[in-house]
Amino acid sequence: MLVSSIGRFGDCPPTDREGFLAVAEALHSYLPWRIIKDGEQLSPVAYHRVPAGVQKHYEEMDSLGQFIAIGDALCIFNPIHAQGMSAAARSRAFVRRVAVRHRSSERGLDR
């Protein structure tokens, strides 16, 4: 099981076990605290700081050659909103649809 604790506007959850537990204890629901308290910690708490969403403007480049940027290479959402994997998967599905549609056309995939 993976447990995440998220803060905003400078309110950063602690990364030591006691501090992590204290945050869970302060929640309205008792369950996360019980799970963390009684569970076996398999690895240290990992800390990710994502200060902003990021969009890369590849359209301003002359060419990406034969590469197509999708997923986080194109756009990084704030993990609080839990959208990154869906966006990456939808990008992949879109690229596949376009590739299938155009692979047999006159210009192949060059467009």
Ligand X SMILES: Cc1cc2nc3c(=O)[nH]c(=O)nc-3n(C[C@H](O)[C@H](O)[C@H](O)COP(=O)(O)OP(=O)(O)OC[C@H]3O[C@@H](n4cnc5c(N)ncnc54)[C@H](O)[C@@H]3O)c2cc1C
The minimum distance between CB 63 and ligand X, in angstroms, equals 20
Q: Which spans of this chain sit near ligand X (rule: CB under 6 A)?
A: 48, 71-73, 79, 82-86, 88
Please state, in angstroms and rounded to a whole number, the distance separating the CA atoms of residues 95 and 100.
Answer: 9
Using a 10 angstrom Cβ sphere, with 0-12 exposed, 13-18 middle and 19 or more buried, the burial of residue 78 is: middle
Q: Between residues 22 and 50, which has the closer beta carbon with respect to ligand X? A: 50
The minimum distance between CB 51 and ligand X, in angstroms, equals 12
Please state, in angstroms and rounded to a whole number, the distance separating the CA atoms of residues 3 and 91.
Answer: 27
Beta-strand (E) ranges in the chain? 54-55, 75-76
The minimum distance between CB 59 and ligand X, in angstroms, equals 18
Q: Between residues 14 and 71, which has the closer beta carbon with respect to ligand X? A: 71
The minimum distance between CB 5 and ligand X, in angstroms, equals 10
Q: Between residues 50 and 109, which has the closer beta carbon with respect to ligand X? A: 50
* SS3 at position 75: strand
